[in-house]
Amino acid sequence: MISSTGSGYLTLIRQHFGFLALAFLAVFTGNLGQSFFIGLFQAPLSEQLNLSAGQFGSIYAAVTLVSGFLVLRLGPSIDWVAPRRYALLVLLGLTLGVLLLTSAPWWWAALIGLGLVRLCGQGLMTHLGSTLTGREFTYNRGRALGLVSLGMPLGEILLPPAVALLLIWLGWQQLWWLLLAIFLIFWCWAWFQAPWPQAPQQAPIKGEKPRGPNPLKELRFWLLLPLLLALPIIMTGIFIYQAQLTHDLNASLTTYALALTGMGVARLPGALLGGRWVDQWGVEHLARVYLIPFILGLLAASMLQGNWGIWLLMLGAGFAMGMQGPILDSLLVSLWGSEHLGRVRSVKSACMVFSTAIAPALLGFLLDWQVSFVTLLMGMLAFVVFAILLALQPIREAANHAPQ
């Protein structure tokens, strides 16, 4: 466990730079498996695999669902596998995935590569960084999680323009190899210089079930689940159906593109302030109210509509998305303890993957039935309020637990 004597971000970075850099690197590396990054190469990937855009989307959804099941299986092992070894295995899987995706002469091998990139990038790399941070910090846990979670929005802000610039000189395969090589150089530093922690548990005896809770068998997890999934579900639908959103709200796609960048920028102060407020006021207070900016954004988009409605929706979503990481991971620690955080986070991550794979299909059916996006936004608002009310009981339980 890590303890700190100061309470500010600069003091925290100064005292624990090596560990925070390691966890941040894991989260930032996870961007290679995120949908926004893979989407930048959808056209050449579809061409290489000889797939239409629709076929690629269907296969991508199937691969995502499989990776969700594997995260549920492999994620808990971070509670007993040494983090250094765990990181090496995930990095080897990611490297193999990139090489297969970009170089394999057979379509089935490229699809395996895509699956490995999704599993080891978006799934296990992000899981590694967030779990280590939530587990190792006691004092200043919220601030530490806030800093580490910046790896995701910074990737969303920095990688797309970097890819656009580098594609002027490089082919898309060479670009993947270059980025992978850069990440591997940083991981070489982490391997030899970073202060790697120990696993909190012993490996389970062969044939025996691992020790620890099973959140899927606990009512409090199911009461909390809609709160965990509200933002990912709704924003996935908005990302996928941006054309219908802007049409029904009488806004322009150019405004949406600019607002999407604004959303990424808004995640930065959201993460830093969310982490700070968790440490100052307690996670039980923040968990009740952190979605208010998103609620206001949904209201503004429904009532104002137009370009202003899009801007307020995306900025509110970005700020809430930034706060969600440090708040929800701290909440999980309060409810289930840091020793089993890997198991609990893997269940949460798998549920998130499943829900975001289902959400586009559900919204697609509703849009096919001529339901306007304004009506959908009001339904999303009702879902968010319902999720907060449903989660009040486990949040109150977290307030009664001593800090761990």
State the average pLDDT for the chain: 84
Mean of the pLDDT values across residues 361-388? 87
Looking at residue 378, which CATH number applies to its domain? Answer: 1.20.1250.20
* Pair 146, 224 in one domain: no
Q: CA 140 to CA 134: how far, in whole Å?
A: 10
pLDDT at 116 over 80: yes
Which residue among 163, 193, 223 closes a domain?
193
pLDDT of residue 6: 55
Cα separations in angstroms, 291 against 156, 309, 324, 362 = 21, 17, 8, 23
* Pair 357, 281 in one domain: yes
Which residue among 145, 161, 193 closes a domain?
193
What DSSP character marks residue 2? B
* Pair 259, 147 in one domain: no
pLDDT of residue 381: 93
Three-state DSSP state, 282: coil
pLDDT of residue 201: 66
255-269 pLDDT per residue, tens: 887 888 888 889 888
* Pair 184, 219 in one domain: no
Domain count, the chain: 2
The set of residues, in sequence order, having a beta carbon less than 8 Å from that of 323 and lying 6+ positions away, is 270, 271, 273, 274, 277, 286, 290
pLDDT band at 2 (very low <50, low <70, confident <90, very high): low
* Pair 162, 107 in one domain: yes
Q: Is residue 208 part of a domain?
A: no
The residues pairing with 2 across neighbouring beta strands, listed in sequence order, are 137
Q: Is residue 1 part of a domain?
A: no
pLDDT of residue 205: 63
Mean of the pLDDT values across residues 231-257? 82
Q: Is residue 198 part of a domain?
A: no
Q: Is residue 4 part of a domain?
A: no
Q: Is residue 51 part of a domain?
A: yes
Q: Is residue 203 part of a domain?
A: no
56 versus 317: the higher-pLDDT residue is 317
* Pair 28, 88 in one domain: yes
119-174 pLDDT per residue, tens: 898 888 988 988 888 888 877 888 888 889 888 888 888 888 888 888 888 888 99
pLDDT of residue 15: 85
Tell me the pTM.
0.82
Mean of the pLDDT values across residues 207-214? 65
pLDDT band at 390 (very low <50, low <70, confident <90, very high): very high
Helix ranges restricted to H, 249-339: 253-281, 283-289, 292-303, 306-336
The pLDDT > 70 percentage for the chain reads: 93
Q: What is the CA 89 to chain-centroid distance, rounded?
A: 20
* Pair 227, 189 in one domain: no
> In which domain, by residue range, is 96 found?
9-193
* Pair 182, 291 in one domain: no
* Pair 370, 241 in one domain: yes
* Pair 56, 171 in one domain: yes
* Pair 254, 178 in one domain: no
Which residue among 160, 193, 226 closes a domain?
193
pLDDT band at 233 (very low <50, low <70, confident <90, very high): confident
pLDDT band at 403 (very low <50, low <70, confident <90, very high): very low
pLDDT at 402 over 50: no
pLDDT of residue 404: 43
